[in-house]
Structure 1
Amino acid sequence: MKKLTLLSLFVAIFFCNQDYDYFGGWPVNPSKNNIDNPDIVPNCVYSNEKSLMSVGCECASDRSCESGKCYKGPGGPFCLPAPGTIFPRFKLIDQFGEDVDLYDFSGHGKLIAIEISAAWCSPCKQLSNWIANGNDEVTRHKQWKPEYNKVKLLVDNGDIFFINVQVSDPYKEAPSLGSIEAWYQEYEDENVPILADINGDFRNWVKNSAFPTIILLNDKMEIVEFSQRGWQSAFGYLSKLKLNEEGHLDNE
């Protein structure tokens, strides 16, 4: 076997280190490994009773959590993440069968809205139908506000990233490639990746109590708005963003 020349070796190393281009056209962040991401599974074993609890750990009160937020609703009590908490690095399969690194959406100067969705959930279907097809049924929901209509414009214009994470199939089982392919066929939108939480790690970290739930991150993967249920918190934030005359985000 012939030895590689220095030039061919350089070329081989160069291409091996190139960032992967997703078939779906999702963004790639070559600096994503520089983000100090937290563990997906929290360490809830502490050396003494005065130790503060991490995100996802059982808590007695707000004062027992690092974040100062102890959730005592359905499935609780456990510590919630505070604004500024770095979201864990999840890799989930998309509607084209590729593993997608959520951290690739960081570093592009855009807010990242993540919808926790279930294939059996009617409001989830309505929300996707609105974003993908313009059907306005979801806007007649009792928890909808007219100002939330701005969200679709932000998604359509590419001013924000909107990611749909499916945590359940139509039969309330774990999602699969087949189930998210079916969702994509119904609600196709080139701007929206549909990801499957096949092993349940995403849902176990988020611990949402209803569907859909929207979480909002900044481009550093830091939590801006975190909720256990609904779209009100994230959409309320997005609806206050200023647009310029062309209908895009005003970054001035």
Structure 2
Amino acid sequence: MTEPFFGNFDLASLTLWLFWIFFALLIFYIQRENMREGYPLEDDDGKPSANQGMFPVPDDKVFKLPHGRGDKAVPSGQTPERADLPLEKTAAGNGFPFAPTGDPMADGVGPASWAPRRDIPELNGAGHPKIVPMASHEQFSVAAGRDPRGLPVKAGDGAIVGKITDMWIDEPEQMVRYLEFELDGEFGKGKRLVPLTMACIKSDCVKVRSIFGKHFAGVPQIASPHQVTLLEEDKICGYFAGGTLYASEERQEPVLG
């Protein structure tokens, strides 16, 4: 009498080994997919890192961007990092902070840093600019809270630098993202945007604590009065946030509790 084909074969062992092989391949695949941004690794000087890890960089994958914005191939087609920044090392090894060598707010470094995002506006699901001035959309109004339009803008040093002229709204989210203000002549000219999170709306003014009157002329401007691009947003937010540390030398000193 002949033995069955699997009579002396351990099916349980085969199943277990197949599971471990599948699990190892899954980890390998997921780890490579995780390396589509930020790889190959670089050191603090922007040179290829000596330790690239045990997994190879994946082959390019092409993503078709919505609303006719072309294709994006990663990891090779990543936006290049900013180069030749006015910074200097504070120590020889990697991982130590860099110190600004110029005007950090104007140079966009440290807390005032910005990323080289695409110079195009963020779009909503219909392919229209997502953040727009309220003045151009009559269907929106202030439903709660204080309307800041017409209020003066007070800098961190108490200087009155201009007045609020409009609010820029995130149309799909139906919330205010930026306040638009017109600068007085002695503090520059033209209109600027300030992130709502960096402004405090009071009964008699809008307080922008992070920067002083002398800094408002350097607030990054936008190219169009009807839309703000991703790059412009990053530069504006970086400028106001950086002033929290860099607006004065006193702010850069240690604070004793």
Interval of TM-score (by shorter of Structure 1 and Structure 2): under 0.3
TM-score by length of 2: 0.24
Comparing both chains, which one has the higher relative contact order based on Cα–Cα distances under 8 Å and sequence gaps of 6 or more? Answer: 1
Query: Larger C-alpha radius of gyration, 1 or 2?
Result: 2
Q: Determine which structure has the larger strand proportion and give its number.
A: 2
